[in-house]
Amino acid sequence: MDWLLLTKNDLLFEKQQCIDEGRDFRSLSRKFDKLIKLDLLINKNQALAKEFLNKTQKLSFRKEYKYKEPSDITGILKLRDKAPKQIKVKLSRGQMFDKVYGAWLGRSAGCLLGKPVECWHRGQIIDVLKKSGQYPLADYISISKVPKQLIKKYGISKDSAFIENVNGMPVDDDINYTITGLAVIGKYGKKFTPGNVSEFWMQNIPIMSTCTAERIAYRNFSNMIMPPESAIYGNPYREWIGAQIRADFWGYVMPGKMEEAAKLAFKDACISHIKNGIYGEMWAAAMLAAAYVEDDVEKIIESGLSQIPNTSRLYEAVKQVISWKKDGLGSEQAINKIHSKFDEKNFHDWCHTISNAMIVAAGLLYGEKDFEKSITMAVDAAFDTDCNGATVGSVLGLVLGAKNLPRKWTAPLKNKISSTIRDFEKVKISEMAERTLKLQV
């Protein structure tokens, strides 16, 4: 079980990852060009591919590379903006519950909206929605309204999480990890270690419920490759979105404490990700901690950014989105700009932390605290639709509170979540909120 079978896509992802993070790939270019032509199902070629992935980690960095992106917590904290790391929260228990419950509901609703169109490209999303009378999005997506020729054209599965098939929040990795955060703190407390997280995963999460970087990390744990090495060894997905979708609970459980939420997020992220993969989780967790007190979405986004290196690609990218809004660009223009920077048909770009963080920032900024406007923008922008819908829904749900969320978005959830986390296979959303509240103390 030392390795999962490497594919040509893995090699392509690794090359782009190395270039993105500033490594000088020139010395391996010829080796890569030869490898990419080989049949990787042949054992000796598979061995060469594995050797190649190990060599990439030893590449030096290009001298002209302008970003400074440490993956250790000390290095990260040194490169942050000077900004408040904590804000005092003055809310009654009832108000706190309403916000926490709103966050869980909002996360679930945004995730559910994006779930049936996950992996669809933007052109397909808009084509299907327009021709079925569902564009612009104003409700959950109905398969019964989609013309048969479109179902055939795009190979759409009628069994996906369209509203007709929904009976509460169905199993999804985005929600699995929010529950995992609750369970980890419930078992180990807030002083949990990265090792505790890896132990919890192996004992409570089926490996087939993990994807990309998480599955590689899981495999590494099984071979006694522990954090932080588990995030690097044989992992071309190390800056993908997987850690960012695991952020929410650390923010839920640290109201007003942005720095502490980000530190919890770091301990979780470092088992499977490096650099901007880690920063995405820290940013989202800190945003949610701030959302207990702050209701200006730009300030919430900035509060999250204050917990990651201001010398990073993620920081720069999210700041760009903020500047577009200030400069008067419309929402459609902003999304077009993101699509011009990242190719959604390249899975590395489609699933990367930075491309999706930009969509989250755009959804929050241009949504202007309108829950429906925010989550629908995050979803019809494409890229990782359920992840982005979930994060935007989570932040807005916490800001607005459960009582202020439109019933048409919360009612189909039926106050229940299904998951693949042991002992949490069927839970009530309100129960998750209550348990979150108790763990804040």
String of DSSP letters for 161-181: S-GGG-SSB---HHHHHHHHH
Strand partners for 399: none
DSSP 71: -
Tell me the C-alpha distance between 180 and 21, whole Å: 29
Over the Cα atoms of the chain, what is R_g?
21
Question: Do the beta carbons of residue 417 and residue 429 sit within 8 Å?
Answer: yes
User: Cα angle at 141 between 138 and 146, to 5 degrees?
Assistant: 115
**Whole domain around residue 51: which residue ranges?**
8-56
Q: Residue 63 falls within a domain, yes or no? A: no
d(CA 279, CA 257): 17
CA–CA distance, 220 with 231 (Å, rounded to integer): 8
Give the pairing type, strands 426-428 and 416-418. antiparallel
Note whether 416 and 327 are same-domain residues: yes
Q: Quick one: 150 and 222 in the same domain? A: no
| 405 within some domain | yes
Instruction: Supply φ then ψ for residue 323, to 5 degrees.
Output: -65, -35
Tokens, residue 337 = 């700009």
314 near 244, Cβ under 8 Å? no
Going through 79-193 in order, the beta strands assigned E by DSSP cover: none
What is the count of structural domains for the chain?
Answer: 3
| pLDDT for the residue 181 | 98
Same domain, 196 and 318: yes
> CA 194 to CA 14: how far, in whole Å?
25
Rounded CA-CA distance 126/163 in Å is 18
* 149 lies in the same domain as 254: no
Instruction: Spell out the long-range contacts of 235-238 with Cβ–Cβ below 8 A and sequence spacing 24 or more.
Output: 235/272, 236/10, 236/11, 236/13, 236/14, 236/17, 236/53, 237/13, 237/212, 237/213, 237/351, 238/17, 238/213, 238/272, 238/273, 238/274, 238/275, 238/277
Q: Model's pTM, two decimal places? A: 0.98
Q: Is residue 422 part of a domain?
A: yes
SS3 content of the chain, % helix, strand, coil (to 5): 60, 0, 35
Does 199 lie in the same domain as 249? yes
The two three-digit tokens of residue 257, written as one number: 């404490």
Within-domain flag for 64:
no
CB 334 within 8 A of CB 321: yes
Closest CA to 147 of 165, 122, 129: 129
Is residue 138 located within the same domain as residue 94? no
Do residues 293 and 280 share a domain?
yes
Residue 305 located in a structural domain: yes
Same-domain pairing of 233 and 344: yes
Is 2 a member of any domain?
no
**Segments of the chain scoring below 70 in pLDDT:** 1-3
Residue 38 lies in a domain: yes
Q: What is the pLDDT of residue 4?
A: 74
pLDDT given at position 1: 42
Predicted pLDDT of residue 72? 98
Q: Specify whether 175 is located in the same domain as 316.
A: yes
DSSP codes joined into one string, 194-229? HHHHHHHHHHHS-GGG--HHHHHHHHHHHTT--TTG
Q: Tokens in use for 16?
A: 């782009």
Residues 38 and 144 in one domain: no
226 and 375, same domain (yes or no): yes
pLDDT, tens digit, for every residue of 405-440? 999 999 999 999 999 999 999 999 999 999 999 999
CB 1 within 8 A of CB 219: yes
Same domain for 287 and 265, yes or no, is yes
pLDDT above 90 as % of the chain:
98
